[in-house]
Structure 1
Amino acid sequence: MTLTYNHLPIQLKNHYILARHGYSLANHDHLICSHPDIAIPPTGGPLGTGYGLHEKGKQQVKESATLLATHLDGKYDRLAPEPVKIFCSPFKRTVETAGIIRSTLTALGVPAIAEPTLHLALRERWFGDFDMTSDDNYDVCWADDATTPDHGEHSKHNVEAPTAVCDRATRFIVDEIEARMEGKIVVLVCHGDICQIAATAFMRIEPWRQREIKHVNTAEWRDTLEL
């Protein structure tokens, strides 16, 4: 079956880890925060410092990254230049998460990890009319994704379609990573829906089936070789 919105080749040159940001200030306030103009800046939010990580989330990420360091041991060439690369969404909560992952992996002996590379292609799914409303509205979006025949393609609430998320995420992987490097452990730090939808791409199933697969909770990661 050919999925025109999934651009991943059958044989990948790199080993991918999908990581979700830690528990955030938006999570704590039960808000959907998906617009770059709100989610990227270091201003606004409940503390005036942007919609970054909650203190609980920072600890979550450190603990999860410690597990990741153990998981990755022996899976990369320690003598290779930059054996582990980190890419992340430019939203404040993902940038902070990526920074903690980097510092934790480095402290635990993973060599030569550069500063995370930010890219808008890894941003949160756009939740349209539901942006900055209650996170109860995620259920409305996911119900729409599951409903035939549209599967969220023509949202009445201007929500980004699962196929559009899959298209931009997998194009980024192919154009910006697969075309430029090989033999790396690549950690992609992003958001709940894009983690789930990217996972469907690695599994070669339709993106609107994202809620059928194991949920990636805040600060959790998935090794795509084990999906």
Structure 2
Amino acid sequence: MSQPSYNHLPQELKNHYIIQRHGFSLANNAKLICSNPDIAIPPTGGPLGTGYGLHEKGKVQVKEQSATCLSEHLFPAGSQNDQEVVMFCSPFKRTVETAEIIYGVLKETHGHVSAPVKEMELRERFYGDFDMTSDDNYHVCWDDDKAAPDHGENSQYKIESPSHVCDRASQFIAKIENEMQGKIVILVAHGDICQIILTAFMRIEAWRHREIKHIDTANWRDTLEL
């Protein structure tokens, strides 16, 4: 099957991938686009002075809903599945906290899970001039993505293009494919990059990410079910 040149996923995959979106965050609660690593990674700043991590609502979401459902999905009662789970996450505080909660639940229920590793290639899509502005501006970005013939490739607002997001994310997944096999790989990231990663698995153009069923906050998608 043909695929865009910026999609580096091999045709045959050796691992089982779960795409996980972070829980409801302090930035979500403030209705802010928070995509700059200099702001979103540190444990300082933000409304509470502790950085832009998860809101308390998000911590509950991830533990009681997302992680529990994921554990039951991967390792149902009576299952003999002893596959090792490896986790990678965006270094943004909200994704790191999400990954740590999921790790804790899977460690308790399954055991064969490695601690999450931070990976810069899984960072949030950069929203350029709209960073730290109202999240209503996401729609401007998505409208650019849909508009032919450019499809967000030369944004007047300095927004990172869908193809660039796919390029960096799929290169990282290809690296995983070269280094391991037979693992369950959980990638913990953000709304747009999660959707764009799904386009890579579906072998379609990255700008079509809004056409795919959305991964809601704190939810996940099993790529074997696409």
Asked whether the two chains share a fold, i.e. TM above 0.5, the reply is: yes
After superposition, residues 108-187 of structure 1 pair within 5 angstroms as 108=109, 110-175=110-175, 177-187=176-186
SS in 1 for 2:179: coil
Amino acid at match of 2:34: C
SS in 2 for 1:170: helix
Q: CA 1:170/1:76 → structure 2, altered by over 3 Å: closer, same or farther? A: farther
Whole-Å Cα distance in 2 between the matches of residues 56 and 2 of structure 1? Answer: 39
Q: Does 1:70 align with 2:72?
A: yes
Whole-Å Cα distance in 2 between the matches of residues 141 and 107 of structure 1? Answer: 40
The residue aligned with 1:10 is 11
Gap regions ≥5 residues in structure 1: none
The residue aligned with 2:200 is 201
TM normalised by structure 2 equals: 0.96
CA contact (8 A) 1:34 1:125 kept: yes
CA RMSD of superposed structures (Å):
1.2
Deviations 1:141-175 (A, max 9, x none): 00000000000000000000000000000000112
Whole-Å Cα distance in 2 between the matches of residues 3 and 114 of structure 1? Answer: 32
Amino acid at match of 1:113: V
Whole-Å Cα distance in 2 between the matches of residues 40 and 118 of structure 1? Answer: 11
Gap regions ≥5 residues in structure 2: none
Whole-Å Cα distance in 2 between the matches of residues 2 and 51 of structure 1? Answer: 36
CA contact (8 A) 1:22 1:97 kept: yes
Amino acid at match of 1:222: R
Whole-Å Cα distance in 1 between the matches of residues 196 and 206 of structure 2? Answer: 5
Whole-Å Cα distance in 2 between the matches of residues 66 and 8 of structure 1? Answer: 29
TM normalised by structure 1 equals: 0.95
Count residues in correspondence. Answer: 222
Whole-Å Cα distance in 2 between the matches of residues 160 and 21 of structure 1? Answer: 20
Report the Cα offset of residue 29 of structure 1.
Answer: 0.1
Report the Cα offset of residue 76 of structure 1.
Answer: 7.7
The residue aligned with 2:220 is 221
SS in 2 for 1:179: helix
Amino acid at match of 2:97: E
Larger mean CA deviation between 112-121 and 215-224 belongs to: 112-121
Amino acid at match of 2:189: C
Q: CA 1:76/1:225 → structure 2, altered by over 3 Å: closer, same or farther? A: farther
Whole-Å Cα distance in 2 between the matches of residues 59 and 88 of structure 1? Answer: 19
Q: Which ranges of 4 or more aligned residues in structure 1 deviate by more than 6 Å?
A: none
After superposition, residues 77-88 of structure 1 pair within 5 angstroms as 77-78=81-82, 83-88=84-89
Amino acid at match of 1:166: C
**Aligned sequence identity (%):** 65
SS in 1 for 2:154: coil
Whole-Å Cα distance in 1 between the matches of residues 210 and 186 of structure 2? Answer: 22
Amino acid at match of 1:119: E
Whole-Å Cα distance in 2 between the matches of residues 105 and 119 of structure 1? Answer: 20
Whole-Å Cα distance in 2 between the matches of residues 92 and 73 of structure 1? Answer: 28
